[in-house]
């Protein structure tokens, strides 16, 4: 080999310096070695040190440095030098007595093999491996397995023909009597598994035998005394890797692996870190093999029951509560239970947890009651669908926990209520009258943990409430949260401020009386600069923005509007602090103020827009600078170098704070443009560039959340410039688009069309919504046939499940169960996607006209919807969205849908029997709209089955919204015209009403009044009754007139009140019929309560004069 470029003693000195404790000496030595390894001349000296230096530390360091040199210089060596290196390495590998050195030499051999084996330059390597594997010396057998693992990692494709014999070597290693050999066999299983997974099925079957042997190794390590945690943890970590493989490497052994992992994970005599590794196996099997695990229902029930029991275990006495790196058993158990609930079909999970919770809450031990509530809380997300339907069993448990005498149990109950409010919507919020009064006292009892969890519960609960629901509790909420904000530490204050923000958002304008009581606290926190208070400043900034959005608009609170400038200044001051989160909330504050001030926000744009652009331009931390030598191929050579791996991990990390900041800034630009179109024009070019430039534009940003915000902001930019540069007088269609608008529209259209093909469903949803808004505002001509065709095609593709983003949703679904009841992120994303797609249909119809859209709807969109509805196992939420979409389209297309009634009505009949109220409600509405648009004659063949399906919806126990829409459906049936091509008359015609069995239908109809939730149906419902009273069916309904008069009287005074026009129609009709038939009608009207008669008289008088009743 070539002579070294420096004397050997100098190299020795440098190597020893690297191993010293002198930082300066280490830096100098590393710099010198880096320079030396830049030349192949150092390789023979490094080889000599790795093979023969007396210090094992020097031998190991020399091996690591030689590995780097091989990567750079191998091809520069002559054939004889290469052969010499190979021979020395194999010789030393079997002779090396120190395990860490032997490991480094094995990695070095793997790197050499990566260069030599593909060229056929190391023919004796596998023969050497075989000799070592068959050696009587345990050290040689360990070398064989370590080398096998290194080769499988570096030159796996060249080992593929030998997989069967290599599996035999590993199998022998797993059963070897020497522990080091067994551990080496376990370590080399992971790279070998990669080879097997990419090979034929026969190799997978053979590998199952290795899994059985691995389980024996793990079980023996667990049973050993003392326990062999090193081997056990290695085996458990390997099970995690195997369950992620593309091939079914665990195979039939999966249930046994789960059983073994649970035995270790729940063993109180096992080290906590080992137990955590065992439960990780359960976690990842649930995530990656949910269907296979879910099919073993008994096993899942056993797992769930064992985890629930473990959740009640107290922490070991020697556990340091300040050590965040070690979890107590209860926390491990609930984390694993959360994973199982998220991914395994809920039917096998929630019954066992419910049973445990009921039993635990009756236990005398507080830890058991705490565990029962916590286990319930963690399954709310994964088991949301079945638990939403069983809240009558769940809520009493939560309320009992809030009343518990033990603080820890009350805290667990508050946490569970917060989780319920987050995931069991909307049903859980119906219990707010029971829940809120029990939460209020917990804020003031002085326990920081209980207070923190109570604030979380109030935050999530109030976020879901609407104004009228929260108003009665505002005084207690504001007072209680104000007290918490004033006297607790920053962590609890932050949660209290977050809860206050939710209260403000829910109350809206009704919060005005409490404005003065919260402004001083908000000002205090928005002025805070201490690092510990920055999170509180973020929440205060958020709350201030929500307050201004609710109360600071035109005609709003004068005191608050006067604070626009000071609030803006506080927000701007926050940008001087080094906090990405605070900048995020600053953009949010400015956006809220912009929405309220509209054009008056213009003077703030010179301050806000540059800050938004700066946030968008921030380094997101995805690609950092590498200070290493660019010529070093460290990705290939430093797999075991922990420091290098950590550095790379940091370079590839996503700084979530910057990501959220970019989202807020991107959204803010769109909202600024929308608020003050003319003032924003000078910033339009910069905003467009921030969204669309390549590289670095937000429309093509790597993270989907930013792309979503860009897709939402782009249409706002277009409509902003459209408002600032309006069309010339009389211009329509494409001529209404000025050059300024066209420039922005063309850029936005290109990006939005591209977004329709995005891999993320939320991005596609935003693009569909954005294009729909442009279609509504600008009309079809400015968008052009190409873009409209792309939009229509995407709608069809979504309904068919063929949009590119749905392939990724399918991948996510493959990670979850196949149960209809399963909820999850993929299902929610697809529901949003379908909602965006169905919203396009009425926009197409309205923009292009029913006659133009009807052929597209009938040939493309509707067939795709019908096909989707006919598929088995479609989630109810998805079906509800599609039926609602048909109804919206039918409102515009009317008689054009008559040819499709035969396909649609059977699907609607199924939805009318669905267990989900929203599906029944949408189906009833859709059937009514079809009847109104297509006419009585077209509906006649379907009436008997439709009426039969509608009948249960009139029950007193039915959901109010469902019953109201059933009333609307029957009212439309009563009012539908005989001629499907003609518009429906104001009241029932003889042809339509005559088709209905009025004598049977009307009593049920009247018995379901009044409308309670969906008052938008009032015009149709009471209009139908008015038509019956004045139409040609009066004789048939004569026996029911007293009930109708009673219904009219109640309608005049009901709360919440009906629209004035409806009450006026009712009053006018009743007055006219009473005047026509004073004999029978007079006593009926006179018998009405005085308040009803007065309201009817006032409404009739107002209708006669055209004024609104007082």
At residue 1036, the pLDDT reads: 85
Q: What are phi and psi of 805, to 5 degrees?
A: -65, -25
pLDDT of residue 990: 43
* Residues 6+ positions from 253 with CB-CB distance below 8 Å: 208, 211, 212, 215
Q: Which residue has the higher pLDDT, 59 or 144?
A: 59
| Dist. CA 854–CA 757, nearest whole Å | 26
pTM of the model as a whole: 0.79
Q: Where are the beta strands (DSSP E) in 1008-1051?
A: none
588, two tokens: 């949010």
Q: Which residues contact 354 (CB under 8 A, 6 or more apart)?
A: 376, 390, 393, 394
Say how far apart CA 358 and CA 350 lie, in whole Å. Answer: 12
Which is more confident, 948 or 205?
948
Say how far apart CA 725 and CA 919 lie, in whole Å: 44
| Confidence tier at 812 by pLDDT (50, 70, 90) | low
**pLDDT averaged over every residue in the chain:** 87
**pLDDT digit string (tens) for 535-561?**
999 999 999 999 999 998 888 888 888
Confidence tier at 985 by pLDDT (50, 70, 90):
very low
**Range in 37-51, 603-617, 710-724, 956-970 the model is least confident about:** 37-51
Q: Could you check whether the bond before residue 916 is cis, i.e. omega within 30 degrees of 0?
A: no
Q: Write the pLDDT tens digit of every residue in 260-301.
A: 999 999 999 999 999 999 999 999 999 999 988 989 999 999
Instruction: Quote the tokens at residue 96.
Output: 């090396």
What stretch(es) of the chain map to CATH 1.25.10.10? 874-1032
Nearest Cα neighbor of 188 from 166, 203, 204, 208 is: 166
Q: How far apart are CA 600 and CA 561, in angstroms?
A: 11
Pick from 715, 713, 814, 704: which is nearest to 764 by CA?
Answer: 704
**Per-residue CA distances from 1032 to 717, 846, 935, 978, 1038 (Å):** 56, 35, 18, 14, 11
pLDDT over 70 (residue 627): no
Distance CA 492, CA 984 (A): 60
Residues 1050-1081: tens digit of each pLDDT:
999 998 899 999 999 999 999 999 998 888 89
User: Among residues 955, 930, 951, which one has the least CA distance to residue 941?
Assistant: 930
Q: By C-alpha distance, which of 666, 543, 533, 675 is closest to 597?
A: 675
Integer Cα distance of 1029 and 1037 in angstroms: 8
Contact 976, 935 (CB under 8 A): yes
Contact 229, 221 (CB under 8 A): yes
Tokens representing 611? Answer: 């800050």
Q: Report the length, in residues, of the chain.
A: 1110
Instruction: Provide the CATH topology of domain 874-1032.
Output: 1.25.10
Confidence at residue 811, expressed as pLDDT on a 0 to 100 scale: 56
Question: What confidence tier does 982 reach under pLDDT thresholds 50, 70, 90?
Answer: very low
Using CA atoms, how far residue 641 sits from 55, 72, 89, 152, 648, in Å, is 20, 17, 20, 19, 11
Residue 810 — pLDDT band, cuts 50, 70, 90? low
Six-digit token string for 202: 């026969």
Name the 3-class secondary structure at 97: coil
Of 1020, 1018, 1070, 1065, the closest CA to residue 1044 belongs to 1070
The predicted-structure confidence for 348-387, as pLDDT tens digits, reads as follows: 899 999 999 999 999 999 999 999 999 999 999 999 988 9
Is 589:601 a contact under the CB 8 Å cutoff? no
Cβ neighbour number for residue 1038 with a 10 Å cutoff: 11
Q: What interhelical angle do 432-443 and 407-423 show, nearest 10?
A: 140
The DSSP letter of residue 860 is I
Q: Is the pLDDT of residue 656 over 70?
A: no
What interhelical angle do 761-778 and 780-800 show, nearest 10? 150
How far apart, in whole angstroms, are the C-alpha atoms of residue 654 and residue 333?
29
**CB of 235 closer than 8 Å to CB of 217:** yes
Compute the distance between CA of residue 457 and CA of residue 146 in angstroms, rounded to an integer.
53
Evaluate whether 290 touches 344 at the Cβ level (below 8 Å).
yes
Distances in whole angstroms, Cα of residue 871 to Cα of each of 852, 866, 867, 1020 = 29, 9, 7, 34
Q: 216 by DSSP, 3-state: which?
A: helix
Token pair in block for residue 115: 């260069």
Closest CA to 865 of 783, 801, 785: 801
643 pLDDT above the threshold of 70: no
Q: Are 370 and 357 in contact (CB under 8 A)?
A: no
| Percent of the chain residues past pLDDT 70, beyond the cut | 91
Taking the CA atoms of the chain, what radius of gyration do you get in angstroms? 36
| Whole-number pLDDT of residue 747 | 95
How many other CB atoms sit within 10 Å of the CB of residue 623? 10
Does residue 584 register a pLDDT over 60? yes
Name which of 208, 181, 183 is nearest 197 in CA terms.
208
At 628, the pLDDT band (50, 70, 90 cuts) reads: very low
Q: Enter the tokens of residue 378.
A: 């963690």
Cα–Cα distance measured from residue 464 to residue 369, given in angstroms and rounded to the nearest whole number: 27
CB half-sphere exposure, 498, CA atoms < 13 A: 20
Residue 67 has pLDDT above 90, yes or no: no
User: What burial letters (b/e) apply to 337-367, b meaning 16+ CB within 10 Å?
Assistant: bbbbbbbbbbbbbbebbbebbeebbeeeebb
Report the alpha-carbon distance of residue 431 to residue 391 in Å, rounded: 9
Query: Helices 432-443 and 391-402 sit at what angle, rounded to 10 degrees?
Result: 20
CA–CA separation, 259 vs 1108, rounded Å?
A: 73
Name 687's Cβ contacts closer than 8 Å, sequence gap at least 6. 609, 613, 669, 673, 680, 717
Among 138-142, 160-164, 426-430, 999-1003, which stretch is predicted with the lowest mean pLDDT? 160-164
């Amino acid at each position: 080999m070539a002579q070294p470029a420096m004397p050997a003693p100098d190299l020795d000195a440098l190597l020893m310096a690297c191993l010293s404790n002198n930082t300066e000496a280490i830096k100098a030595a590393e710099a010198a070695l880096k320079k030396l390894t830049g030349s192949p001349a150092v390789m023979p000296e490094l080889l000599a040190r790795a093979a023969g230096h007396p210090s094992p530390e020097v031998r190991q360091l020399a091996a690591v440095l030689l590995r780097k040199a091989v990567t750079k210089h191998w091809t520069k060596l002559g054939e004889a030098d290469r052969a010499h290196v190979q021979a020395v390495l194999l010789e030393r590998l079997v002779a090396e007595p120190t395990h860490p050195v032997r490991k480094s030499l094995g990695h070095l051999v793997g790197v050499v093999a990566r260069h030599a084996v593909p060229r056929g330059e190391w023919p004796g390597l596998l023969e050497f491996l075989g000799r070592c594997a068959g050696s009587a010396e345990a050290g040689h057998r360990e070398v064989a397995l370590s080398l096998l693992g290194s080769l499988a990692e570096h030159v796996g494709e060249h080992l593929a023909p030998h997989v069967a014999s290599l599996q035999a070597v590993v199998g022998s290693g797993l059963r070897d009597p020497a522990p080091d050999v067994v551990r080496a066999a376990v370590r080399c299983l992971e790279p070998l598994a990669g080879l097997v997974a990419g090979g034929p099925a026969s190799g997978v079957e053979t590998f199952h035998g290795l899994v059985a042997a691995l389980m024996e190794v793990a079980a023996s390590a667990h049973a050993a005394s003392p326990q062999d945690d090193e081997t056990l943890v290695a085996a458990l970590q390997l099970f995690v890797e195997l369950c992620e493989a593309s091939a079914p490497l665990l195979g039939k052994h999966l249930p046994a692996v789960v059983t073994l992992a649970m035995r270790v994970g729940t063993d109180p005599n096992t080290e906590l870190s080992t137990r955590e590794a065992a439960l990780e196996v359960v976690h990842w099997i649930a995530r990656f093999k949910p269907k296979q695990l879910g099919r073993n229902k008994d096993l899942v029930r056993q797992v769930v029951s064992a985890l629930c029991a473990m959740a009640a275990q107290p922490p070991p006495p020697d556990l340091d509560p300040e050590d965040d790196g070690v979890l107590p058993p209860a926390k491990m158990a609930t984390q694993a239970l959360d994973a199982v609930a998220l991914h395994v079909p809920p039917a096998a999970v929630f019954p066992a947890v419910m049973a445990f919770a009921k039993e635990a809450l009756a236990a005398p031990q507080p830890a058991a009651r705490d565990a029962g509530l916590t286990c319930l809380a963690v399954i709310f997300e994964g088991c949301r669908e079945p638990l939403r339907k069983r809240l009558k069993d769940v809520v009493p448990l939560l309320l009992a926990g809030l009343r518990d005498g033990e603080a820890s149990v009350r805290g667990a109950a508050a946490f569970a209520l917060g989780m319920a409010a987050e995931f069991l919507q909307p049903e859980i919020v119906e219990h707010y009258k029971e829940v809120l009064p029990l939460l209020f006292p917990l804020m003031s009892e002085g326990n920081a943990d209980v207070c923190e969890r109570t604030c979380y519960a109030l935050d999530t609960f109030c976020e879901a409430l609407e104004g009228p629901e929260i108003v009665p509790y505002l005084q207690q909420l504001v007072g209680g949260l104000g007290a918490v904000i004033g006297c607790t530490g920053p962590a609890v204050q932050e949660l209290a401020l977050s809860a206050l923000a939710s209260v403000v958002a829910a109350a809206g304008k009704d919060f005005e009386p409490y404005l003065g009581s919260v402004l001083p606290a908000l000002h205090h926190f928005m002025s805070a600069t201490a690092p510990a208070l920055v999170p509180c400043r973020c929440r205060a900034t958020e709350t201030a923005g929500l307050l201004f959005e609710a109360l600071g608009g035109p005609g709003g609170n004068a005191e608050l509007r006067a604070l626009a400038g000071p609030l803006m200044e506080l927000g701007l001051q926050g940008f001087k602090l080094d906090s990405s989160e605070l900048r995020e909330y600053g953009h949010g504050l400015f956006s809220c103020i912009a929405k309220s001030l509209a054009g008056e926000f213009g003077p703030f744009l010179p301050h806000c827009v540059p800050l938004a652009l700066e946030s968008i331009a921030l380094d997101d931390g995805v690609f950092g600078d590498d200070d290493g030598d660019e010529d070093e191929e460290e990705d290939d050579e430093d797999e075991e170098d922990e420091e290098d791996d950590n550095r790379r991990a940091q370079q590839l990390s996503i700084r979530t704070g910057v990501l959220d900041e970019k989202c807020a800034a991107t959204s803010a630009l769109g909202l600024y443009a929308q608020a003050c179109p003319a003032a924003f024009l000078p910033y339009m070019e910069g905003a467009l560039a921030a969204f669309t430039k390549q590289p670095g534009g937000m429309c093509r940003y790597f993270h989907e959340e930013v792309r979503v915000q860009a897709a939402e902001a782009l249409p706002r930019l277009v409509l902003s410039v459209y408002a600032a540069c309006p069309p010339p007088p009389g211009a329509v269609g494409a001529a209404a688009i000025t050059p300024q608008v066209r420039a922005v529209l063309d850029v936005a259209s290109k990006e939005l069309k591209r977004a329709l093909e995005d891999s993320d469903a939320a991005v596609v949803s935003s693009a569909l919504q954005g294009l729909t808004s442009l279609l509504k505002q600008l009309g079809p001509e400015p968008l052009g046939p190409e873009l409209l065709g792309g939009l229509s095609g995407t709608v069809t593709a979504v309904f068919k499940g063929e949009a590119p983003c749905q392939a990724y949703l399918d991948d996510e679904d493959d990670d979850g169960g196949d149960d209809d009841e399963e909820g999850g992120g993929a299902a929610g994303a697809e529901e949003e996607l379908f909602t965006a797609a169905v919203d396009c249909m009425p926009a197409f119809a309205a923009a292009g006209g029913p006659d133009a859209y009807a052929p597209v709807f009938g040939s493309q969109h509707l067939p795709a919807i019908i096909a989707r509805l006919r598929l088995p196992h479609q989630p109810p939420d998805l079906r509800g969205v599609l039926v609602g979409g048909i109804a919206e389209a039918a409102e515009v297309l009317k008689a054009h849908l008559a040819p499709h009634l035969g396909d649609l009505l059977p699907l609607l009949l199924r939805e009318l029997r669905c267990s989900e109220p929203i599906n029944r409600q949408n189906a009833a509405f859709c059937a009514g709209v079809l009847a109104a648009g297509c006419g009585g004659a077209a509906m006649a063949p379907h009436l008997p089955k439709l009426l039969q399906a509608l009948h249960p919806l009139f029950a007193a126990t039915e959901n109010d919204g469902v019953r109201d829409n059933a009333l609307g459906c029957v009212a439309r049936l009563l009012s539908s015209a005989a001629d499907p091509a003609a518009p429906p008359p104001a009241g029932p015609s003889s042809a339509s009403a005559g088709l209905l069995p009025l004598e049977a239908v009307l009593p049920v109809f009247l018995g379901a009044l009044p409308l309670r939730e969906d008052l938008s149906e009032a015009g149709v419902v009471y209009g139908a009754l008015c038509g019956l009273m004045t139409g040609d069916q009066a004789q048939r309904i004569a026996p029911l007139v007293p009930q109708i008069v009673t219904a009219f009287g109640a309608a005049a005074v009901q709360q919440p009140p009906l629209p004035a026009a409806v009450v006026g129609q009712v009053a006018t009709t009743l007055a006219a019929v009473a005047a026509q038939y004073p004999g029978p009608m007079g006593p009926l009207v006179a018998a009405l309560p005085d308040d009803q008669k007065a309201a009817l008289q006032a409404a009739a008088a107002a209708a006669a004069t055209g004024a609104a009743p007082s």
